[in-house]
Structures are given as structure tokens and as C-alpha cells.
Amino acid sequence: MTIKNISILSFKDQSVQKNMDVTIREGRISKISEGGVVSAPVSGNLNEIIIDGTGKYIIPGLINAHAHTAMTLLRGVAEDVSVDDWFNKHVWIYEQSLTPDDVYTGTLLGAAEMLLSGVTAVADHYFAMDRAFEAYEKSGMRANLAWAVFGTGSEADKQFGTAMNFTKMYRSKSSRISISLGPHSPYICPEEFLVKVAGVSGELNIPMHIHVSETEDQVVQSLKKTGLTPVQVLDKTGILKEGTILAHAYWATDKDLELIKKRRAGIAHCAKTYMKFGDVNDLLPRAVKAGVKIAFGSDGLASNNTVNIFETARDAALLAKCSTSSPETGKINEILPVLNGGNVIGLKNYGEIKEGVLADLVIIDPSTPNMMPGYNIFADILYSLNNRNVDTVIVDGKVVVENGKLLTIDVAELREKALETSKRMVATVSDRPLQSY
């Protein structure tokens, strides 16, 4: 496949290379050359797919480094409430009635939404991940899956056994879908459980994905209980290490950030979730300054309402400015590289448009009124772009979105299924939460 006469954007140095041809072979960019005539295939093979990139831009696909994708089915169930009520009175009540089939439907719905908004890889932390695996396989998306475990209560051992069976069975099943271990958080999981998970991670060489320091109160409670910040608890128990995805670390102290950097873990920053809870902090500018690996995450749809990472980046820029009362933070050149934070979820050879990298790519069409007149394409992408500008999405060298249409999933059929599921969930909702926050 060759994309012809396209402008290559680099978020790292804010450069534009105009009129280039990008050739893709076996899931990678095999060649980049000066643009030529659109009708002639670069390889001489008349059957080769040619995409005309004239007037368009190409960027690496976006990363969603922390999602609970199947929660698309809970979009809108918990609005305008505190964190405590969000968990105990809404989300953990609804999640009681989610079935493995629902996880498949909800994940497929989230994958559809992500691909249509230019997200090519996700780190998903949820339950029934064998069914999520099926959904990601069908969607054509790249994914890292962690089966969430609480490590507490009467079902703890059984739950951990199920997650481990999944991990062992699925870890080598797909080159596109990798597996992590998913202990929920230091505020739910007992320390001895975290030590056990870290041990398994080291033994089997499987990374981990965990929530930490989502709120200021979690840090206060942890200090009161253990004398340590939640990040320090993760360090003490062996969880904080290279490859670990830290969902949030939003209330990490500057010392925590130094520790995270030293251990080479990465942060998934979910700006819209924090803003919806009215929680303002300057984590992003501090983490960028400290040189910590960082990517954006959507978190679950019951708090974020979308899995759109362009939107999260915009929210993150605004949050950075508001939290520091300064327009000179959350700058475009700090925010846009975070869109391609694949190193947080373990992607190698990704994040730039150059020969040899993974062909996970997004073609942006800026010809809609919201992107005109186009003085600064980088500002337009951060502050003006919407899904209509996501023209083509390629994952692993295959086109999954073409002219804004999803090729791998029947969206009309999916809508029927999602409506059916939501009706059943409303009818069967229990009064017992899955866990207590």
C-alpha cells in the first residue's frame, strides 16, 4: 500500500514534510520518498492499493493508555455526583449486572468509537477480557488487556485464578493484542496481594496496569494508614517498575514523580475524568518537566463519556493552563507528543512517521470549515479538530477506517445490540455494589 503526496507531521519537533509518499509492507512503513504522480504505483504492482493523500496530513495513530472500554454501556449512568457516590451508588451497582457477552458488545462499541476518532492502540483494564480479546480481534485495533482483580473479599483467590488462566492462555495468541496483569489499586488491593502480583509479573515477564493516586484523599488516607504515598506503596510492593502503566497518578507528589521516572513506569493522564469530578491539579506540567513517560487515557465511559483521545488532549491542555493560572503551560509542543505516548503501553518502533516503524497511522483531512484557514496545523489539531477530520485509519498495515467509515464493524448492528443491553441492564440493576469504595 502507498499513500501518495501526503504531508508528514511530527509532533515531536512540530515539523511538516510536504508532498511525500509513504509505502507500507507487512505492517510497517517500508519506504518514505518524495511524492510522485498519483496514478502510478510505487512498486510497479498494478494491484497495489494507492491512497491519494493530496491536501491531507499523516500522523502516528493515537494511544489510549487507560480505558475500561466495555463501560461504553454505562455511558451517562453517573452524572454530577461525588467520587464516592459515583462508585458505590452507580457504577459498581450497574457493573453487577454486566455479563461476558456485554463486555464483548461494550468493547466492540468502544473500539468502533476509538478507531473512528484515530485511536489505534488501547490499554484496557476490565473484566471478562477473553471476550474483550474477541472484540479487539474483530475490530482490527491494537490492544493491551489487563483482567482487573481486587485481591480482597471471599472471591479473591478465584478471581486471581481466572485472571491468571486468561493471561497464560492469551499472552501469545496475537501479535496485535498483548496482556498485562491488572491489580485494581493500592486502595483496594492489600499489600501482600500486590507483592504476589509483582512476583508473578517478574516470573512470567508480564507488565502491570494499575490505578494509583486518583484523588488527594487517597494520598491522605494512604499516608495516615501506612506512612507512605500510594506511589511509594507500589514501589515497596514491587509494582512500580519498567512497563507498569500507572492510571492517573494525578496526585503524585514531585518526589513520587522522581521515583516513577527512576523506575521507568509510565502515567496515563485522563484529564476529562478529573475535570468532571471538579478536581484541579497541575500533574501534567509537573510530569512533563520531570521527564516522566506520559500518555493520555480516557478512563471509563461513566466518567469520561467518550474514548476520544483528541478530546482528552484538548482537556489536558486547558487543565494545565487552569491549574497553573498560566497560558504558558500546557503548550502545544508539550501536549501533542503525549498523543503518541506508545512507550507507556510498551509499544516499540512507534510514534514517528519513518521507515521501519509500525504502520499504525491516521490520515487527517483538514478540508472542513472547523480547520480553516490553516495557519497552524498543530494548533488546529489540538483545538479545532473533530472526528470528521479523521479520514483514514490504518492499524498493523491494514485500512480499518476509510473516508471516515469503519470497515471492520457493522455499526448499525452494534447500535441495536447496545440498545438491547442497556434496556436489560436498567431492568435488572441490583442494589448491591460490586465492591465498596
Among the residue ranges 88-96, 196-204, 293-301, 328-336, the one whose residues contact Zn ion (CB under 5 A): 293-301
Q: Do 210 and 31 contact (CB within 8 A), yes or no?
A: no
Q: How far is the CB of 136 from Zn ion (least distance, A)?
A: 18
Say how far apart CA 392 and CA 404 lie, in whole Å: 6
Among the residue ranges 201-209, 247-255, 384-392, 413-421, the one whose residues contact Zn ion (CB under 5 A): 247-255
Instruction: List C-alpha distances in Å: 231 to 223, 270, 282, 285, 289.
Output: 11, 17, 17, 18, 18
Q: How far is the CB of 299 from Zn ion (least distance, A)?
A: 5
Among the residue ranges 83-91, 298-306, 314-322, 385-393, the one whose residues contact Zn ion (CB under 5 A): 298-306
Q: Measured at CB, which residue is nearest to Zn ion?
A: 299
Pairing outcome for strands 398-402 and 405-406: antiparallel
Region for residue 345 given its phi and psi (left: phi exceeds 0; alpha: psi -120 to 50; beta: otherwise): alpha
Beta bridge partners of 17: 8
Among the residue ranges 13-21, 132-140, 239-247, 329-337, the one whose residues contact Zn ion (CB under 5 A): 239-247
Q: Do 28 and 397 contact (CB within 8 A), yes or no?
A: yes
Say how far apart CA 245 and CA 180 lie, in whole Å: 9
Residue 360 interacts with Zn ion (CB under 5 A): yes or no = no
Q: How far is the CB of 297 from Zn ion (least distance, A)?
A: 8
Going along 11-153, which residue ranges are E strands? 15-25, 28-34, 50-52, 57-60, 62-68, 119-126, 142-149
| DSSP result, 271-334 | HHHHHHTT----HHHHHHHHT-EEEE--EEHHHHS---HHHHHHHHHHHHHHHHT-TTSS-HHH
In the bound state with Zn ion, the residue whose beta carbon lies nearer, of 149 and 247, is 247
The interface with Zn ion within residues 48-67 (CB under 5 A) comprises none
Q: How far is the CB of 127 from Zn ion (least distance, A)?
A: 13
In angstroms and rounded to an integer, the radius of gyration of the C-alpha atoms of the chain is 21
Q: What is the dihedral of CA 340, 366, 50, 357, to 10 degrees?
A: -10
Q: Do 104 and 135 contact (CB within 8 A), yes or no?
A: yes
In the bound state with Zn ion, the residue whose beta carbon lies nearer, of 299 and 311, is 299
Q: How far is the CB of 301 from Zn ion (least distance, A)?
A: 11
Q: How far is the CB of 53 from Zn ion (least distance, A)?
A: 36
In the bound state with Zn ion, the residue whose beta carbon lies nearer, of 252 and 377, is 252
Say how far apart CA 83 and CA 383 lie, in whole Å: 29
In the bound state with Zn ion, the residue whose beta carbon lies nearer, of 53 and 300, is 300
Q: How far is the CB of 15 from Zn ion (least distance, A)?
A: 34
In the bound state with Zn ion, the residue whose beta carbon lies nearer, of 256 and 299, is 299
Among the residue ranges 144-152, 292-300, 345-353, 419-427, the one whose residues contact Zn ion (CB under 5 A): 292-300
C-alpha cell at 200: 508473578
Residue 208 DSSP class: B
C-alpha cell at 146: 489487563
Among the residue ranges 21-29, 94-102, 165-173, 243-251, the one whose residues contact Zn ion (CB under 5 A): 243-251
Among the residue ranges 167-175, 296-304, 317-325, 414-422, the one whose residues contact Zn ion (CB under 5 A): 296-304
Q: How far is the CB of 250 from Zn ion (least distance, A)?
A: 11
In the bound state with Zn ion, the residue whose beta carbon lies nearer, of 73 and 382, is 73
Angle in degrees, CA 221, 226, 228, rounded to 5: 85
In the bound state with Zn ion, the residue whose beta carbon lies nearer, of 268 and 371, is 268
Q: How far is the CB of 150 from Zn ion (least distance, A)?
A: 13
Residue 74 DSSP class: G
In the bound state with Zn ion, the residue whose beta carbon lies nearer, of 103 and 377, is 103
In the bound state with Zn ion, the residue whose beta carbon lies nearer, of 141 and 246, is 246
Choose which of 299, 315, 360, 396 interacts with Zn ion (CB under 5 A): 299
Say how far apart CA 211 and CA 183 lie, in whole Å: 8
In the bound state with Zn ion, the residue whose beta carbon lies nearer, of 4 and 272, is 272
In the bound state with Zn ion, the residue whose beta carbon lies nearer, of 6 and 123, is 123
User: Total residues contacting Zn ion (rule CB under 5 A)?
Assistant: 2
Q: How far is the CB of 190 from Zn ion (least distance, A)?
A: 19
Q: How far is the CB of 262 from Zn ion (least distance, A)?
A: 24
Among the residue ranges 21-29, 137-145, 295-303, 392-400, the one whose residues contact Zn ion (CB under 5 A): 295-303
C-alpha cell at 133: 480479546
Contact positions toward Zn ion, by CB under 5 A?
Answer: 247, 299
